Structure 1
Amino acid sequence: MSDSFFYDTIEKIQSKIEVIKASSMCFVAEDNFILNNFRDELLNSVSAFNQLDTLIIKPSGGNIKIEQVRDVEEFLMYKPNYAKVKVVFFEDIDRLNIEAANAALKLIEEPPEYALVFGTTTRWNYLLPTIKSRFIRYDLSIPSLLVENINRKYGEIAIYFNFFRHYDLGVLLFLNDESTDVSKVKDEVKRVLNFSSNNIDELISNFKLSLDLPYNKLKFSLSYYKLWNILINSDDKEFFYLIKNISQIKNDVENLSFLSNISSLGAILLRDAMVFLNSSKWKFFWNNSLVYFFGLNEHIVNLEQIKDNISYLNRVSTMRLANFNFEMEIFTHFFRIKRCFIRTIK
């Protein structure tokens, strides 16, 4: 367990197991990848736990239903057979429907003396106040050791990886992996950064990559930001021409996944533009390379447009509907972001 990124947190739970029994804890993070990795490490590392005395509850059909809460109640009726502590783990506990939430109140407030109830969520504020008040909240963040390792391995280009802390932890784990070819990654980053409007087709081809592989997601993400590096300074005619080219990849990508990913990346770009307006402190930037990469410091921006479009992009990034016009959504995405940047400072 000493190699775990969550070693300190898990060790604390391990050492305090007798104290925290019969209580409920909710782990909060901004990325489910963090929560899922933490859950697995926690359940596999604490000696008082055993998978045969562990029940994991996941949303079914988008929600956690009252029938699942009844399963938990039945599970907790009896003492553990193989472990010191019975464990219930509610994944995405913000997905409790009203009926299930009301039924879960008592078991969250007063688990049996031989049990622990854990919850995970990326949306703490979506929990009912009555549920929040019954949990001990514990915030999880990207382990500092992971970030330090990547900064040390990749040197000056590590600045282009900061936003993955808020977008995809899997890419950071890939970059940190001992088997990852550092030279290959560095060469690819430099290649993308050197793209221009003269080889836009090659840049757009990176959008067709399968995002199941973290290396492809790295190329996809950097290509999206490099595309904005070109678009943000283009005139109207060139802008619409490039957007038309992007929309033509419709048959080469999974449409909903593509829109979800560029919406998440676009929201990061606009968030940093908004932060730039209000702060000079680099620690508040999710991707501190974006300010000068895109020349945000050289543009007059519309703060109200930025706020509105961050909300719009966040909605698109989580939408589940498959009935939409891909070409129109692509145009809307890029046009909304483009109009946030009013003009270049003379």
Structure 2
Amino acid sequence: MSNSFFYDTIEKIQSKIDVIKASSMCFVSEDNFILYNFRDELLNSVSAFNKLDTLVIKPSGGNIKIEQVRDVEEFLMYKPNYAKVKVVFFEDIDRLNVEAANASLKLIEEPPEYALVFGTTTRWNYLLPTVKSRFIRVDLSIPSVLIENINSKYGEIGIYFNFFRHYDLGVLLFLNDENTDISRIKDEVERIVKFSAKNVDELLNNFKLPLDLPENKLKFALSYYKFWNILINLNDKEFFYLIKDISQIKNDVENLSFLRNISALGSILLRDSMIFLNSSKWKYFWNNSLVYFFGLNEHIVDVDIEQIKNTVSYLNRMSTMRLANFNFEMEIFTHFFRIKRCFSRTIK
């Protein structure tokens, strides 16, 4: 990622390094991709840092454990050998288990005079209050210049990329890359947008794409919303049979990743639904592209807000699920039926 995306934040740290030493900062964002890229840019850009005097702590088995905190304490016992400042970087610091969190309080509150403690999280409110109070919070967001570049580059179809700022930064970076074939992307987007119920097999094929490539993730996400554009106009019997078709891809996809991704996308859809119900101010929408895909203006009139909130909570749990102890077919049916129920009173 270009240094310019986080230039201001990194430059402030660089210029104030003597002032902020012996303190702790937590970088907060909705997207781990932003945090991971920022971490790399920060550690590689600040001249006072050196990788030989840097310790990165990552969750092990789902949590950051007290043994890892002990490693940090040992690391910070001695002054840096190769850098001006020793750096400890906790990834996903919300994963501190209670024992580790309590053990880390002193080192977060009072790092040695030659050290800095950094943390990252997408779930600031999951941190214990005693941990939060000891951090300087720094919010990171997708730089506006990136969105402006993409809108300028892709013209009218740029509207269909808005929701990626809340779903996957990697796709936006791919779209912004000078080597990305703009005409091919435009053709693919326009093709998906024009799909109808006759193109279900093609949409299902997009669901089967490996999601390690940003272009595939683009097709996957657009196909998910196009599915809803089709599903919402079906009667109950047709709806059931199409969901059954989706559940049959079990052997063609990585099950946990698939469920996480459709849960994240479903949550984005319902979030905009609540905004539509409660405000006429379009500037509050994350993704006006969903109005075009899903037809929010046609399908939302009088929906039970509590039903939407409960479903969003369910989807958020699924999008962060780590254990694979689930029934894939059942979760697919649950996903689509819960979302449909949010709109069942209003479908024309």
Q: TM-score, normalised by structure 2?
A: 0.96
1:1-346 mapped onto 2 (5 Å cutoff): 3-299=3-299, 300=301, 301-344=303-346
42-51 vs 249-258, which deviates more?
249-258
What's the Cα RMSD here? Answer: 1.4
- Aligned to 2:81, the other structure's residue is in SS state coil
Distance in 2 (alpha carbons) for counterparts of 1:2 and 1:167: 20
Identity %: 86
* Over 6 Å off, 4+ runs: none
Contact persistence 1:26–1:137 (CA under 8 A): yes
The CA deviation string for residues 50-108 of structure 1, in whole angstroms up to 9 with x for no partner, is: 00111111111111111111111111111111111111101111111111111111111
Distance in 1 (alpha carbons) for counterparts of 2:254 and 2:347: 38
Residue 15 to residue 2, structure 1, CA distance change in 2 (3 Å): farther
Residue 39 to residue 239, structure 1, CA distance change in 2 (3 Å): same
Distance in 1 (alpha carbons) for counterparts of 2:4 and 2:167: 21
Q: Which amino acid aligns with 1:112?
A: P
Q: Which amino acid aligns with 2:216?
A: N
Distance in 1 (alpha carbons) for counterparts of 2:46 and 2:324: 42
Which stretches in structure 1 are left out of the alignment for 5+ residues? Answer: none
Distance in 2 (alpha carbons) for counterparts of 1:285 and 1:136: 29
Distance in 1 (alpha carbons) for counterparts of 2:228 and 2:347: 18
Q: Which amino acid aligns with 1:199?
A: N
Distance in 2 (alpha carbons) for counterparts of 1:15 and 1:287: 37
The CA deviation string for residues 162-203 of structure 1, in whole angstroms up to 9 with x for no partner, is: 111111111111111111001110110000000001121111
Q: What is the CA distance between 1:342 and its match in structure 2? A: 2.6
- Aligned to 2:43, the other structure's residue is in SS state helix
Q: Which amino acid aligns with 1:89?
A: F
Contact persistence 1:93–1:119 (CA under 8 A): yes
Contact persistence 1:302–1:342 (CA under 8 A): no
Distance in 1 (alpha carbons) for counterparts of 2:3 and 2:70: 37
Residue 207 to residue 2, structure 1, CA distance change in 2 (3 Å): closer
Contact persistence 1:23–1:117 (CA under 8 A): yes
Which stretches in structure 2 are left out of the alignment for 5+ residues? Answer: none
- Aligned to 1:6, the other structure's residue is in SS state helix
- Aligned to 2:62, the other structure's residue is in SS state coil
Distance in 2 (alpha carbons) for counterparts of 1:74 and 1:325: 44
Q: What is the CA distance between 1:4 and its match in structure 2? A: 2.8
- Aligned to 2:344, the other structure's residue is in SS state strand
Q: What is the CA distance between 1:324 and its match in structure 2? A: 2.2
Contact persistence 1:273–1:291 (CA under 8 A): no
- Aligned to 1:5, the other structure's residue is in SS state helix
- Aligned to 2:138, the other structure's residue is in SS state strand
Q: What is the CA distance between 1:343 and its match in structure 2? A: 4.1
Q: What is the CA distance between 1:321 and its match in structure 2? A: 2.7
Contact persistence 1:56–1:90 (CA under 8 A): yes
Distance in 2 (alpha carbons) for counterparts of 1:5 and 1:240: 45
The CA deviation string for residues 249-276 of structure 1, in whole angstroms up to 9 with x for no partner, is: 1111111111111111111111111111
Q: What is the CA distance between 1:3 and its match in structure 2? A: 4.2
Q: What is the CA distance between 1:213 and its match in structure 2? A: 0.5
Q: Which amino acid aligns with 2:174?
A: F
The CA deviation string for residues 254-307 of structure 1, in whole angstroms up to 9 with x for no partner, is: 111111111111111111111111122223222112124322112232222111
Number of residue-to-residue matches in the alignment: 346
Q: Which amino acid aligns with 1:114?
A: Y
